[in-house]
Structure 1
Amino acid sequence: MTTVFTKSAIVAAAALTLAACATATPYQPAGVNGQRGGYAEQRVDADRFRVSFAGNSVTSREQVEMGLLLRAAELTVENGYDWFATVDRATDRDVRYSVSPDPFYYDRYRPYWSPYWSFYRRGAWSSRNAFWGPDVDVREIDRFEASSEILMGRGPKPAGDPNAFDAREVIQNLGPRVTRAAY
């Protein structure tokens, strides 16, 4: 039993170490430092861009949408415009499930017993433990990606348009709330 306990402790320590290392996607261009997430843009027309921001599994939807709006505002100012309007905006959620064996499962009376053995019950084969239920941990993993086509303009933003934003105000309000990459 000591060996199984030691192995279980090592697996638990490794999982905690990896969890502590996980951080939200920083505000940076996509693909920097081997990271999958970040912002990207593509010029569509002289005053239009397609902007996106992708997060990792610990980046919230709010953080992803803030990153998108901040990048849109920065592009607007960099190109000499004052305001931008989101023409088409969407946030996608990618859900995956991670199934892993329970590292603490051990039967001291039957060390050869495996919770992964299949058994036939109620007309179907199952890989669940026949007596105590599933011996697996299931974790839901969410990833968000926001994208928008933006139209940029000069002068005061259009009054009454809920999709129009003053670029400098967005930078002033969201800039301090976004975690930037440390290079």
Structure 2
Amino acid sequence: MKLLLAVLLLSLTACSSAPDYRSASAAGYGYSDTELGPNYHRVQFKLRGKNKAKAMDYALQRAAELTLSQGYDWFDLVEKETLVDRKTYEVTTRLSTASHHRQTSCGLLSCSSYYQPDMMPELDTTTDYTEVRIDIRLGKGVSPQGTSIFQATEVLNKMKQ
């Protein structure tokens, strides 16, 4: 039982120690992007926790990388949406049919043995997450003026600091 708990704790630690900025995994944490049309993309970033600013920074970082990889200079943040949610997993204890241990009970004249199933704890955790979705339009050359226009190289330089 102690071994099982140690394995569960190590697996949780391994999940939580993964870098925040990465391509989205099966669990959905990290970035992903989809082409919506010519020069038009949706970038999503999902982060563990409730840090909206950090999730937005990572979404902008991915947007800047995407902009440069597509041969463009700047992007216009057309639309943005931020979601904060919570996933809850319950704790339960169940009898395990796979593992059991032997119990021995001795009286004055004899001993008897029997097998008892182990009680196995189920994983209990609550995870908050923040997801940012931004739609961007890519552009080349001189950019228009406005608060929704981002120079891709400037965004990446700020993220390195």
TM-score w.r.t. the length of structure 2 is 0.64
- 1:81 to partner: Cα distance: 1.1
| Corresponding residue pairs, total | 130
Q: Cα 1:43–1:162, aligned 2, differ >3 Å: closer, same or farther?
A: same
Q: Does 1:66 align with 2:57?
A: yes
Q: Cα 1:44–1:90, aligned 2, differ >3 Å: closer, same or farther?
A: same
Deviations 1:10-68 (A, max 9, x none): 8987776566442355322223xx5531211111122111111112x347333321211
Q: What amino acid is aligned across from residue 155 of structure 1 in structure 2?
A: G
Pick the aligned partner of 1:147 from 113, 127, 133: 133
Q: Does 1:41 align with 2:33?
A: yes
- 1:86 to partner: Cα distance: 0.8
- Please give the alpha-carbon distance, in whole angstroms, between the structure 2 residues aligned to 1:86 and 1:48: 10
- 1:93 to partner: Cα distance: 0.8
Equivalent in the alignment of 1:117 = none
Q: What amino acid is aligned across from residue 56 of structure 2 in structure 1?
A: E
Q: Give structure 1 regions of 4+ aligned residues with deviation exceeding 6 angstroms.
A: 9-16
Q: What amino acid is aligned across from residue 71 of structure 2 in structure 1?
A: G
- 1:158 to partner: Cα distance: 1.9
- Counterpart of 1:42 in 2: which secondary structure? strand
Structure with the larger strand share: 2
Deviations 1:80-135 (A, max 9, x none): 1111011110111112345658xxxxxxxxxxxxxxxxxxxxxxxxxxxxxxxxxx
Give 5+ residue unaligned stretches, structure 1.
1-6, 102-137, 178-183
- Greater shift, 89-98 or 69-78, is seen at 89-98
- Counterpart of 2:24 in 1: which secondary structure? coil
Identity %: 27
**Which structure: larger Rg?**
2
Give 5+ residue unaligned stretches, structure 2.
93-123
- Please give the alpha-carbon distance, in whole angstroms, between the structure 1 residues aligned to 2:129 and 2:148: 25
- Counterpart of 2:156 in 1: which secondary structure? helix
